[in-house]
Copies of this chain bind each other. A is one copy, B any other.
Amino acid sequence: MSTFGTLFRVTTYGESHCASVGAIIDGCPPGLPLIAQDVQTQLSRRRPGQSNLTTPRDEKDTVQLQSGIEHGITLGTPIGLLVRNEDQRPHDYSETDLYPRPSHADWTYLEKYGVKASSGGGRSSARETIGRVAAGAIAEKYLKLVFGIEIVAFVSSVGKVHLPTNMGSPSQVPDDDDDSVEDSISPEFVSLLRTVTREQVDSHPTRCPNPEIAERMTKRVIRAKDAMDSIGGTVTCVIRGVPSGLGEPVFDKLEAKLAHAMLSIPATKAFEIGSGFRGTEVPGSKHNDPFFVKADGTMGTKTNWSGGVQGGITNGEDIYFRIGFKSPATISQAQETVQYDGTPGTLAARGRHDPCVVPRAVPIVEAMASLVIMDQMLIQNARKTSASLLPPISTLPPTMVKPGQAQVNGKH
């Protein structure tokens, strides 16, 4: 449905051609400083018309906060917000009144509901993501303020142009006995994950933080645009500073919630965390992340193939994952297909379309990541606080209790 989350919960409404799109964010902690600009920044990163790589629809997407805040402080009550739909131009889509766009949601929405919005795919519109981005910005504000958590997404590939990780790629060529060194994450990529900032990401329209690769990505997008075609890509996201212990066994493991969140973004087809698919080729002896004691006395892992999650629970290391976005379905190139009633014909979609969505997907990925972490953090806080109120545990073998827990735990 249109609600995501358990304790920090966002519910959205709206499609591309109605009066507004909006969201209700429920469960925001009271006492958080929050003004419209906190939300607007990410909305502006999401909106179209930012460069010649995206659709020229220039919608202002100005957020209007409705409730839940007074004097710039959250009250703990639901935050209602909305963004008016300004630039609707419904006639651009007239040809798609007859044709369901191949690989778009037009036909499946009609199958599902029996009726469809005049714009076609209804809630599959990219405008639906506005509510998510707004909600994510609020969650992120909290996470940054309280834990110093940093969430940065960037474009890691466009078509075949990849930001190098030096991990090679899943082998299709028979090479059964080669466990060679190519399968390691390069120090450069590790360093990028540890340090990349949104400023770096935004310094190039493609939102790839490597200028040389970014330039090649641009060319790839332009080539698609010139061909009235489209091209896909991937977004990688890193979350730094997450405390250990988040993620709910067994069905709500952190990676499961992240995958759910990410594959709910339009046009996504793939998700991997840590070493992902490539890690499946690496033997356990190389893939395991050994523990060590960090300078500050806390536990860490020497490597991070796990991507910050073990057994569905965060271990305090950087969480990183990658999402695959397919090439946009709406293209101006002629396509042989059939009409809703089965009549064969040729569809050439008019209107303004993104030849590549990954640059604009960056803030959406960040938003969904924020929502997942925030919700899991609240749930774990409930457990942790309630456990900390119990008397110290004296009956368990020491190996079953967190070192120091028996002493520090209770107050009785």
Residue pair B24, A288 in contact (C-beta under 8 Å): no
Q: What are 14 of the A-B contact pairs (CB < 8 Å)? A: A1-B248, A12-B78, A13-B68, A14-B78, A76-B114, A77-B123, A108-B247, A162-B170, A255-B268, A277-B324, A280-B326, A284-B331, A284-B333, A290-B337
Q: Which of B255, B281, B290, B383 sits near A232, CB closer than 8 Å? A: B281
CB under 8 Å from chain B, chain A span 261-316 = 261-264, 266, 268-277, 279-285, 287-293, 297, 299, 301, 305-307, 309-316
Residue pair A160, B146 in contact (C-beta under 8 Å): no
Residue pair B387, A31 in contact (C-beta under 8 Å): yes
How far is A74 from B314 in the complex, measured between Cα atoms in Å? 22
Which residue of chain B lies nearest to A329 when distances are taken between CB atoms in the complex?
A: B288
Range class of the A interface residue count: 35 or more
CB under 8 Å from chain B, chain A span 92-136 = 97-98, 100, 102-105, 107-118, 121-124, 128
- Sorted from nearest, which 4 A-B pairs have the closest CB atoms? A105-B311, A13-B80, A230-B284, A270-B272
A26 CB-CB contact with B under 8 Å:
yes
Residue pair B337, A291 in contact (C-beta under 8 Å): yes
Q: Chain B contacts of A230 at CB under 8 A?
A: 283-285
A89 CB-CB contact with B under 8 Å:
no
A96: min CB distance to chain B, Å: 9
A115: min CB distance to chain B, Å: 5
9 additional A-B residue pairs with CB within 8 Å, beyond A103-B289, A107-B291? A6-B6, A77-B117, A103-B310, A111-B402, A118-B397, A269-B277, A271-B272, A279-B326, A284-B330
**A271-B259 contact given A103-B287, A161-B174, A288-B329, CB 8 Å threshold:** yes
Residue pair B264, A269 in contact (C-beta under 8 Å): no
